[in-house]
Amino acid sequence: MKAKKKSAPTNAEAQSMAEWAYRNLRQNKSEPFPYTFEFQFEPTRMAKLVTQQESEKPFDASEIRQQVEVLSNLASNAAARYTVARVETFAPSTNPANADELVACLDDVVKQANKLVFQFAIAGSRKAVERLAARSLGSAIALLKLTRSNLDLVKPVARQWCMWPVAYNPHWNSKKEMEEMIKKLEVGRVAPENVQGKWSNVNTEGQPFKKVLGTYAARIMQHVLRPLHDIPTMRQRLVAEARMDISFLGNPPPLTGEEKERLIAQGWPRWIVDLVNLPPFSNEAAKDWFEVGWAALKEMTGGNVTSIKELRPIGESRAKEWRAQGASVAQQENQRECGIHDQLRKSFLHRFRLAE
């Protein structure tokens, strides 16, 4: 018996997310994540999603005032939570969890300040452009100095990123040093975006479904899971809604079971709620990532993955075995779907396996 199609999300943001995922999974649109995240304090203290187009629209005077208030609140909360008396408890060597929390907290303040400066830049302020460039250059130079002094600290991060900020200088000697630094850092070596070359989508005699499996594995990971998970937008948004509070700073703790159910009752698809709770992608977490992607695919098909004509033949051998044993049509279809699930998971895990 086919699973009943889940009812559509009851809120506009969830509906928009579901439609975006459908276009990327089923129609292969490769659309970028359409939203950015904003705090708001009026009329209520909440967090919201806004489109990229809206986020690039110049603020009016009232919106500037509101965003300055957001910055003031973030800075005040940071100052209140991390007093001078407690600074000694945030040493990375003795209390890394507290140190990471403080770094994330300060990062929220910096991002909000940059957001305001960017607003003046798109409104035509040359000074704002200068400050954005100077701040970016300063960060790149700081990274360069850190790389020179502590390569072992920076390298694991750079290997996971597909891009890396650099302080570009047209002088040939500076360009040479920059290229050598990038080589030493092994930028992108284990970035999931760059491991797709390990998988060939060419069908072979022994693997007739390799192309379609690779295609759907890539859609699940690169067009849906990674855009939603790696940009903190969705997690911040859902945590704010679940806890009815935006006083948190930095990286909030995972959603509890009760909070997850509350969000689902408010119309958020379960797979999105589960996704924002996933740990960073790793070989150990890959199976959990796939199961969330599979849940998304099932929802995009009304609970019936076998309805996808490209995937349906993949489960035929499993269905045929059960048919020979006298299984009912419903049992055969269930086994067909299990066959698709297992083969797609195998493809996903192989394609996105990170180098050790």
Exposure b/e, 142-152, CB count within 10 A at least 16 = b:
ebbeebeeeee
pLDDT of residue 314: 93
- Judge contact between 155 and 184, C-beta under 8 A: yes
pLDDT of residue 44: 47
Percent of the chain with pLDDT over 90: 27
- List the one residue out of 2, 18, 24 whose CA is nearest residue 268: 18
pLDDT of residue 330: 92
pLDDT of residue 255: 87
pLDDT of residue 102: 75
pLDDT of residue 13: 81
Supply the DSSP symbol for 2.
P
Peptide bond into 280 cis (omega under 30): no
Residue type, 114: N
pLDDT of residue 8: 45
**Between 172-185 and 126-149, two packed helices, what is the crossing angle to 10 degrees?**
60
Q: How far apart (Å, rounded) are the C-alpha atoms in residues 262 and 86?
A: 35
pLDDT tens sequence across 163-181: 888 888 888 888 888 888 8
Phi, psi for 105 (deg, rounded to 5): -65, -50
The low-confidence residues of the chain, meaning pLDDT below 70, are: 1-10, 37-57, 81-93, 191-206, 231-233, 245-252, 355-356
pLDDT of residue 1: 45
pLDDT of residue 342: 95
Beta strands per DSSP E along the chain: 35-40, 46-51
pLDDT of residue 104: 74
Contacts of 180 (CB under 8 A, 6+ apart): none
Joined tokens for residue 225 = 């899971």
